[in-house]
Amino acid sequence: MHGPPSKVVHAALERPNRWADWGNMGFQIEAHGARAVVTGASSGIGGLYARRLAELGWNLTLVARRTERLEDLAQAIRSDHGRDVRTVTADLGRQDDTERVCGHVAEDDVALLVNNAGINGYGHFEEVDPALAHQVLAVNVVAPTLLSRAALPGMLARGRGAVVNVASLLAFAGAVAPDPLPYRVTYAGTKGYLVTFTRTLASELAGAPVQVQVLCPGLTETEFHLTTGAEPVPGRQERVHEDGGMNAGDVVTASLRGLTDGEVLCVPGLADPQAAERLVQAEAELRQGSRPVLAQRYRDPVD
């Protein structure tokens, strides 16, 4: 329920922009000795973020559930690029593991956080195991929120940083019935949260020396669809589902370019960037409903 703006709201609106001196800028992707933390780094988009960032000079902290895969990737990056690579085996569906990773994210040399870890929990909503639904919420919502919270104070104090939250175009597909799209209620809801969370955080940090981005790929060539996520895909060899999609390397390319351009909503396959602006306009039209007068259609008698 919306009432008249409070004194607190008026004070917030009248407060000078605390980041005005920084101006608006994109993120400088050169490492300058800094560290990036990448979650969900044992395969797919996360693994390719790690490799690409290593090429750009970043030291890395890689987080995932699969220790052997993490160690294989870390060793390859050390051999190929000579970077300092740390591995953290953690299940972000567990509170204690998330808290432990928050400690790594808050370290003084961290200038980039990529919240890539995610699971899908696909299935008919009324049939999904409640424990799996809880796990999807923990990994896809709670973990990136708390990790972002852990990262931001240090980044702001040091005057440099970026946070990337990997969402999905399914965040915008609420009106589209399943088949061929998956049965995805909980997953899509979590990705919708990430879109709103990131865009709102970007507004709160307008002009700050920290860039935030929500990455919304469509179907991507990874192993994501090979499991609901309750357990990771087994084996040390990375696999790809048979559904096709965009090359995961292209998704990472779009994200990194979007960071340098200061792009908050990054959709790698979107040819018309004005679509994002039209979304803002549509939201503004919906917010016109925040008024004290009941819309006429709700006052008219039922036929």
Closest CA relative to residue 151, chosen from 207, 212, 193, 199:
212
Nearest Cα residue to 145 out of 187, 194, 105: 194
Round to whole Å and give the CA distance between 147 and 198. 13
Please tell me the distance from the alpha carbon of residue 229 to that of residue 136, in angstroms, as a whole number.
8
Active site residue 49: no
Nearest to 148 by CA among 135, 162, 136, 158: 162
Q: Amino acid identity of 81?
A: H
Cα distances (angstroms) measured from residue 178 to each of 110, 120, 252: 40, 14, 27
Name residue, tokens 């902290």. 61
d(CA 119, CA 135): 8
> Which residue in the list 49, 122, 183, 187 is annotated as catalytic?
187
Known catalytic residues are 187
